[in-house]
Structure 1
Amino acid sequence: MEATSGRPAGGDADRRLGRRALLVGGAAAAVGTAVLARQELSHLWWRLPGVDKPRVAGAVDFRGARWVAASPANYRQADRPDDYPVDRVVIHVTQGGYRSAVKAFQDPAHAAAAHYIVRRDGRITQLIRELDVAFHAGNRGYNERSVGIEHEGFVEDASSFTDAMYAASARLTAAICGRYGIPADREHVIGHVEVPGTDHTDPGPHWDWGRYMGLVRQVHTPET
């Protein structure tokens, strides 16, 4: 016989069990959420600028480049393009020989270094990973958004810029543009002289921009 209260017999017990199930279920959900939150938080460090992320010693970003590490004082560790979008390539001239440039970039007191040096003979040395912020442009915002390429030689000496240098540097710039989806044009491939606030004049009047950009475009493969 059913109870006259209109509720099924055993309703109080059922409600107690239901509340207990809700409490237990809610606690389990909270624990699960906390676990997920901890897991998520444990991965947030990957997005923090300057964090020491796992990387392969001596690895290069451009095939065929030689690795020679710059002083850690001359760049800031990062995880570009996640930390900072990369949308510029900055062209420099060393105002000296290759060895003196490497020595300067390995000197912590120098306070500057580029990602790459291209020699007169076309050989390329990488000193800083592209994911890191090199102190090369004299402008923090441009450092964070660009890859810097030094070229062995002197701005006042046209003979510094050899056929081998132009060809190798153009392949390097084209690869960088392709990697980050940078347009291969003069708005995005610039000289150090064009960085806002700089007092530098490189690459100087003897750098053949028409020739250089033509070579870059020949090998540039835009992102699809």
Structure 2
Amino acid sequence: MTEKAKGGGRTRRAVLFGGLGALAVGALAAQDEIRRAWWLLPGVSKPRKEGDVDSPGVSWTAASPANWRLADRPDDYRVDRIVVHVTQGDFASSVGAFQNPFHKASAHYIVRQDGHVEQMVRELDIAFHAGNRSMNERSVGIEHEGFIDRPQDFTDALYAASARLAADICRRYGIPVDRQHVLGHSEVPGADHTDPGPHWDWDRYLRMVREELARTAPPAKAG
């Protein structure tokens, strides 16, 4: 009998190597699950310091602990999305809302119309921003000061600051700059919100994020 198995075109060698490949993939997946399980254990937590921020040039104000959940991302939950929000209020009232323990919501960042960026939840942790537990666990939420029906609220400074922030997040987590991975709150499954609304210029925003990534890309290694 030849090396081909009866009744099929695959050889025993192909079956063997296919099985070994599946075992290797399974072993890598198991290692990932073991690492994730370690970071999910009670009492296991990365060192952190009050006031630390995750992106250069941003300021820190802590959201109420009632409005986010302690985590150790990306080791316990993979980060592969950015969710774009609009505050439907001014900057000060939005900061105050996230500090209010009865609000039950927060975002990692708020971008002001003049380009100032305030971080309120560490990227390590899970902000309650998307109205969807799975999306909260896998995403960074960026709020933008303004109202969805007022296109003048989306200033050049706001777009520029948000694009710099989003590019930094995408670089650190390897998030592709496309509409599958950078999405609006209204596009989150199960969401009942309409932000960022029809006046948010997605083409402009993603172009600016890509330009920031290209501008700040590390130099290629010689040889």
Q: TM-score range by the shorter chain?
A: 0.7 to 0.9
Q: What are the equivalent positions in structure 2 for 1:30-179 lying under 5 Å apart?
A: 47-48=39-40, 51=43, 52-179=45-172
Q: TM-score, normalised by structure 2?
A: 0.78
**Long gaps (5+) in structure 1:** 1-42
How far residue 54 of structure 1 moved from its aligned partner, in angstroms, is 2.2
Q: Distance between the aligned counterparts of 2:138 and 2:36, measured in 1? A: 22
After superposition, the Cα gap between the structure-2 partners of 1:55 and 1:155, relative to the gap in structure 1 and judged at 3 Å, is: same
| CA offset digits 1:130-168 (Å, max 9, x no partner) | 010000000000000000000000000001100000000
Give the Cα–Cα distance (whole angstroms) in 2 for the partners of residues 170 and 205 of structure 1.
Answer: 18
Q: CA deviation at 1:56?
A: 1.5
Counterpart residue identity of residue 94, structure 2: A
Superposition RMSD on alpha carbons, in Å? 2.0
Letter in 2 for 1:154: F
In 2 relative to 1, CA 216–44 (structure 1 residues): closer, same or farther, beyond 3 Å? closer
Q: Would you say the 8 A contact 1:112–1:136 is kept in 2?
A: yes
Q: Deviations over 1:30-88 (max 9, x none)?
A: xxxxxxxxxxxxx9996126755421210000111000000000000100000100000
Taking structure 1 as the reference length, what is the TM-score of the superposition? 0.77
Aligned residues: 182
- Structure 1 residues 50, 168: closer, same or farther in 2, change over 3 A? farther
Mind listing any 5+ residue stretches in structure 2 that lack a counterpart?
1-34
Q: Give the partner amino acid of 1:148.
A: G
Q: Is the 8 A contact 1:94 1:154 kept in 2?
A: yes
Runs (4+) of structure 1 exceeding 4 A deviation are 43-46, 49-52, 221-224
| Cα deviation, residue 219, structure 1 | 1.2
2:175 paired residue number = 182
